[in-house]
Amino acid sequence: GDGSVGTDEFIFGIFKLKTISKSMDMLSIDYQQEKALQRLSELHSTLRLSIAGIQSRLAAFAGLLPDMEKNISSVTAGIDEVQKLEEDLMIAHRSRQEASKEGAGMSKESMSNTLNIETLRSNYVLNGRLTSMEEDYARLQEAEERGRPTPMEQQQAINSIADGIVQSIKRALEEELSAVRTDAGTASGSPPPG
């Protein structure tokens, strides 16, 4: 067409000019060289496509990084809040133990039953949140099987899972703290703190 010669044709032409021979061995070598060059060319184009795919995935991932940093910050804040709730729970638990040691309050069996009911409730809520997160994860896997999910779909799934974890832990701890406060208030004879 335009008079340009590709690299493969140029190299193959040089081989042909240097080895002008009509013997079967030389023709076989020429054929093998041509096939090797063809395989190298195919590998080169495959490699270029793979590199382009990797670059596009890296670019998409780089686009998600700022949102992921925000989510990590919010999860960290949620973890800090959960730790604070745990500390409050421990303080309330100690208060309850002190009140029960003073002898004015519920029997050990009654307190144990109340705590078991609250534990079951918090486990039920936690199981519900875990089920919801498993469904989000399954939807994300289905989206990947259909084709690469959009960065927005990935971000929504990440947000949903992170929020679900923080909320379920927070809710379980708040319920436990409320139960302990109620028990401590009942044990000491004073109304539970609101």
Q: Per residue in 145-189, pLDDT tens?
A: 666 656 676 777 777 777 777 777 777 778 777 777 776 666 555
Please tell me the total number of residues recorded for the chain in this structure: 194
Does the pLDDT value for residue 27 go beyond 60? yes
Residue keyed to tokens 């140029």: 10
What separation in angstroms does the CA of 39 have from each of 27, 32, 60, 167? 18, 10, 32, 56
2 lies in a domain? no
Is-contact 60 151, C-beta < 8 A?
yes
The secondary structure of the chain in percent helix, strand, coil, rounded to multiples of 5, reads: 85, 0, 15
* Structural domain span for residue 11: 7-188
193 lies in a domain? no
User: Structurally, how many domains does the chain consist of?
Assistant: 1
Max Cα–Cα distance, the chain, nearest Å: 112
Q: How far apart are CA 68 and CA 61, in angstroms?
A: 10
